[in-house]
Structure 1
């Protein structure tokens, strides 16, 4: 039995790795928001029904398993676009990192911490959206706003260690990469001297 808030069931996550603003359950419906002209939108138009009031397509909960892979693929596409956009905006290009054991370990750690950061930010956004929906309910607005502020504060507090670790690992990775490139350049210079002799 689902809780009812202002005439609508409360939005619940469809999976732990999928943000509520992307897909959520309300009673026996699963709502999915998709970017215009995306593969996910195509699939949802085929399998689902548009709800203009909510601004998303919905399917019955029995069809959820059939669209989860498409939702996850769409999230992965969005993350890849964000990474590419960040690189373009900063003027950097994605050069391969020399793969010493230390560099590989640090690179993997940076990737994990970046994914943790994205997940934490998505959870904060999901909580804010869920609480914002409750403003129209019978709850006092001050309580809902207090919950939103609390979610943001808790979320930001939890980001500190992730950001600190990310910065430290990235700095260590830069040092390791510079040392590897220097050693590689010295090796090339030594080979050129041997070729001349």
Structure 2
């Protein structure tokens, strides 16, 4: 099956690869043993591969896109990824409240968005977004690279995990590939009892963009 490489996400010496199949399904590409590919892999955004793969045996929502690749062969390069994706995927348009069925939320004075265990959310962990404002390069208090979404009514900080060099501004109406991190449990060190413990979260991040 044909697969277009849509994003490379850096995890130290490894990379997570996102793709889109010829039947318009998002996939997260994993090796035979279920691990990420090494950073030195020959995969690059925009490439078209002929792949044989199967659905991963253990899928934990919302990460329903995981597949195990058993063979692959490079067959081409897409000249215009933005045009290709706009013609083949469903797009979210507007602000972050339009992403993932409106299930994203933030807490207190924190500006990062996430889905929370125990709440209703769609069984998907990636998608494509046409932002209604520019996204400006930003770093949080822990110096994580990211982008700031800002209007007169709201502000959000979104981590950037793509392998491409971060730019100062992603212009409005660029096509942005967004995804959700793996489940993460905030510290419950000071929780008084079980009912006050914070549940697991998957945070929103930017995997790449196409102008």
State the TM-score, normalized to the length of structure 2: 0.22
* Greater share of residues in helix: 1
Higher radius of gyration, 1 or 2: 1
State the TM-score, normalized to the length of structure 1: 0.23
